[in-house]
Structure 1
Amino acid sequence: MAANDWKQKCGSELKLEENNLPMPDTVDWKFVYEKKPLGRNLLKNPSPFGLDQNTPPPPKKELAGMFGAEPPRSEPEGDFSDWTTSEETLPYDTSGIPAGVAICYLPRFSWFTLEQKVDLKEEGFWDELLDDFQPDIAIEDWYEESQLHKSVYVLKVTLLGADGQTVIKEHMLSPEEDQRNDSHTWKRVTHVFSGYGPGVRQIHFLHKLKNRDQIHVTHATGSSVIVRATRSTRP
């Protein structure tokens, strides 16, 4: 198939013409057609814990040392392929404990971090679309409501330049939990990048989940990064 035929195929079947997206002749339209980049989740393995936001989160496990409790693990259970993971053990919190009081037990908290980087050119996007049109980039994530701690979830999504270092736009969220009420449901997190300026070539997605004593684990699921064929703010 000739290059112009691939361009016409993209224009009609991927609705690029319908959405008035830039279609220069210099783009490899066969590659774009094979990738079909717009409207799909660019994150790989978006639910590494094997959970679904349409079903209730798993019941909480007992703490180590209690009858029938499971032994602690080095990291949460799941298939974390395509994610870079790390764990940060936090210092014991002794605030509010009077001097001289004997301490029998203090919970040990840690952050479990999952991060992933998306190369937009490798996913089928082209310069004129990203720089001139600047389509909306929609972020969605779901995390488990918890009385574990006042802060159990952090999201940080960064739009980067071609070097993977230059920050063009960033969104960070660290909500506080209502520890008086625990309906044990999923909480939805969303954000849309629009009018972010030229030069975006990579997206770095990172979320942190708080654990206690390696037994009480905060889960996340349904993570997504989707570039839409529309824009809500003119560049």
Structure 2
Amino acid sequence: YPAKNQQPCSTAGFSSRIRTESCFLCQCSGLRSAVPLAVVEEILLNLPAHQVVRVCRLVCREWKELVDRAAHWRERCRREGIQPQDPSRAPDGWCQFYFLTKKRRNLLKNPRAEDKLQGWKIVQNGGDRWVAEENRNPFPDETVTKCFVTSYGLCLKQQLIDLKKEGYNEAFMDQLQPHIKISDWYAPRFDCGCQYEISVELLDRRKKPICTFQPEKVFFQQWNDEPWCEVSRITLTVQLFPYNQTKSRCYCLCICSALFQMTHVFKDYGPGVQFIRFTHGGVDTQYWAGWYGIRVTNSSVEICPAEER
């Protein structure tokens, strides 16, 4: 199993690492007959996981059996506070679950518009173009404060994820076939119709699609109010002036703003996946100048254990 955020190393660095691990292996071999297995297991639990797999497991048959036991990885997970999403459902393989969980992270750069459009390739930039701005309405996660906004011409942006550079080499992906979970949050304005679309492709080394998730485009009508989604209501005070400008009246305007989450999990996608191409965006269907189109934020692509649903 590759170490988290493992980077390619030079020949000299690789040789040095081999010498270090060989020396460690010799030391371990000298201990195997003198130390009870219960003590050995406790020592293994206090060593880095990747060293246990790469080195300690090779010392002897007894140590290999210790490392290969589900109990070893279950205990390691317990000590490090790693738990399945559903505690009542044990993972099929605790070792695989441990490494995938430790390495799990969002592979998309700048998913919350915190650095404006940095990290994204602009595929379509219609109307008044993409823009990053503060969220108009509260997001479920209070740390998400910004979003990307589309305009009256089609706006699409994209990221290409190189799995090898992210620490997931071809053998790892082919043999383990970990689940690939994508998530994207999008929201319309209540006063303007708009369209949302997304496409996520798993690509081979030549960047040819192996598997694609591309649901139908989502359309929102002007003055939309979706009863099946969670709706947040914000009351604003609007001051209206009559023609004579001598009196004013205050009205309460109830604005319904909906947040939607698009999710998908790739499973059993087959061998050869080396890249992931994530594309999303949309357009304002009223053709209004400015930024009245779909809003997107908090997008994610994660390599996760098979137990994730």
Q: TM-score interval w.r.t. the shorter chain?
A: 0.5 to 0.7
Bigger proportion of residues as helix: 2
Q: Distance in 2 between matches of 1:134 and 1:188?
A: 25
For residues 146-157 of structure 1, the aligned pairs below 5 Å read 146-147=189-190, 148-149=192-193, 151-157=194-200
Out of 56, 69, 94, the residue aligned to residue 19 of structure 1 is 94
Structure 2: stretches of 5+ with no match in the other structure: 1-19, 26-47, 55-66, 68-72, 83-91, 128-150, 226-255
1:170 to 198, 206, 212: 212
Whole-Å separation in 2 of the counterparts to 1:19 and 1:155: 33
Deviation of 1:186 (Å)? 1.5
Question: Partner residue of 2:292?
Answer: 216
- Taking only the aligned residue pairs, the percentage that are identical comes to 27
Larger radius of gyration: 2
Supply the distance in 1 between the matched residues of 2:103 and 2:305 (Cα, whole angstroms): 6
Query: Letter of the aligned partner of 2:212 in structure 1?
Result: E
1:153-184 Cα distance to aligned partner (Å, 9 max, x none):
100000000122x1000011212225453321
Confirm whether residue 229 of structure 1 aligns to residue 305 of structure 2. yes
What's the CA shift string for 1:186-213, capped at 9, x where partnerless? Answer: 2111011000110000000010121431
* 1:2 equivalenced with 2:21 (yes/no): yes
- In the alignment, the residues of structure 2 paired with residue 2 and residue 18 of structure 1 have an alpha-carbon distance, to the nearest angstrom, of 26
1:144 Cα offset (Å): 1.1
1:62 counterpart residue number: none
SS in structure 2 of the partner of residue 142 of structure 1: strand
Matching residue of 1:87: 125
Q: Distance in 2 between matches of 1:214 and 1:9?
A: 56
TM-score normalised to structure 1 length: 0.62
Matched AA of 1:110: G
Is the Cα–Cα contact under 8 Å of residues 37 and 125 in structure 1 kept in the other structure?
A: no
Identify the residue that residue 158 of structure 2 maps to in structure 1.
115
8 Å contact kept, 1:159–1:204: yes
| Distance in 1 (alpha carbons) for counterparts of 2:154 and 2:106 | 25
Aligned 8 A contact 2:152 2:292 in 1: no
The one of 25, 44, 51 equivalent to 2:109 is 44
1:45–1:82 Cα contact (<8 Å) kept: yes
Number of corresponding residues: 175
Measured against aligned partners, the alpha-carbon deviations of 1:21-72 in whole angstroms (never above 9, x if no partner) come to 39xxxxxxxxxx9xx8732100010111x4xxxxxxxxxxxxxxxxxxxxxx
1:9 is displaced (CA, Å) by 6.9
Match for 1:39: what amino acid? R
| Secondary structure of 2:257's aligned partner | coil
CA distances 1:77-105 after superposition (whole Å, capped 9, x unpaired)? x710000113135xxxxxxxxxxxxxxxx
Q: Is structure 2 residue 273 aligned with structure 1 residue 200?
A: yes
Question: Quick one: which amino acid aligns to residue 21 of structure 1?
Answer: Q
Equivalents in 2 of 1:110, 1:42: separation in Å? 28
TM-score w.r.t. length of structure 2: 0.49
Match of 1:98 in 2: none
Q: Tell me, which stretches of 5 or more residues in structure 1 are unaligned?
A: 23-32, 51-77, 90-107
2:258 aligns to what? 185
3-state SS in 2 of match to 1:188: strand
Higher relative contact order (CA 8 A, sep 6+): 1
Q: Does 2:201 align with 1:144?
A: no
Whether contact under 8 Å (2:198, 2:281) holds in the other structure is yes
Q: CA RMSD in A?
A: 3.5
Output the CA distance in 2 between the equivalents of 1:138 and 1:167: 17
Aligned equivalents of 1:175, 1:224: Cα separation in 2: 19
Q: How does 1:30-69 map onto structure 2 within 5 Å?
A: 38-48=103-113, 50=114
